[in-house]
Amino acid sequence: MSKTKDTIKVRGFFRVQITEDGKGIVGDSGWRKNQVTNLGFEQYLAQTLGGMAGSKTVSHVALGTGGAPAAIDTTLAGEIMSSTQRKTVSPSTVASKTVQFTAAFASSASFLSAAANLSNVGLFNTSSGGTLFAGNTFTSSSANTNQNVNVTYQIRFS
């Protein structure tokens, strides 16, 4: 009898771009790896796959001014708190093993009340509160109130 070994790896990548009308992209994190939290694995992946009570799905993205989340974190350090703090994501399948979430923080929606040094991003299951699925930090980029921020986040299975 031959043995087969199935292994599945979950990897996440994100890109944050700051744009300004008439100037195009003025800040770009490039593609960066993420940190899936312990509850991200449990509640978003394992429980969802099993159709269990308490399972969660990604619906929102947040930006912050803090550092990288640890595996035990449930919140995003330095999350920008305003009436439009999190944006609803648009999910799509971009390859047979990749789900992509995109969102736009528009300056016209006043997501920033003053200039901020953005340095982290995270995926959540609600517009406020909830549980952090995954996130990470990137080189701090100054965003002004007249600029937009576009987020692309991919979760890849291999």
Q: What is the pLDDT of residues 77-120, one digit of tens each?
A: 999 976 568 999 999 999 899 999 999 999 988 888 899 999 99
Q: 117-138 burial string, b = 16+ CB within 10 Å, else e? A: ebbbbbbbbeeeebbbbbbbbb
For the cut 80, the answer to whether the pLDDT of residue 21 exceeds it is: yes
Round to whole Å and give the CA distance between 120 and 73.
Answer: 13
The pLDDT value recorded for residue 37 is 94
Round to whole Å and give the CA distance between 123 and 130.
Answer: 10
For the cut 80, the answer to whether the pLDDT of residue 5 exceeds it is: no
* Residues in contact with 149: Cβ distance below 8 Å, sequence separation at least 6, in sequence order: 16, 17, 18, 19, 63, 104, 105, 111, 118, 143
Give whole-number Cα distances, 39 to 47, 54, 85, 148, 158, in Å. 10, 11, 22, 30, 21
Average of per-residue pLDDT across 14-34: 95
Average of per-residue pLDDT across 6-12: 85
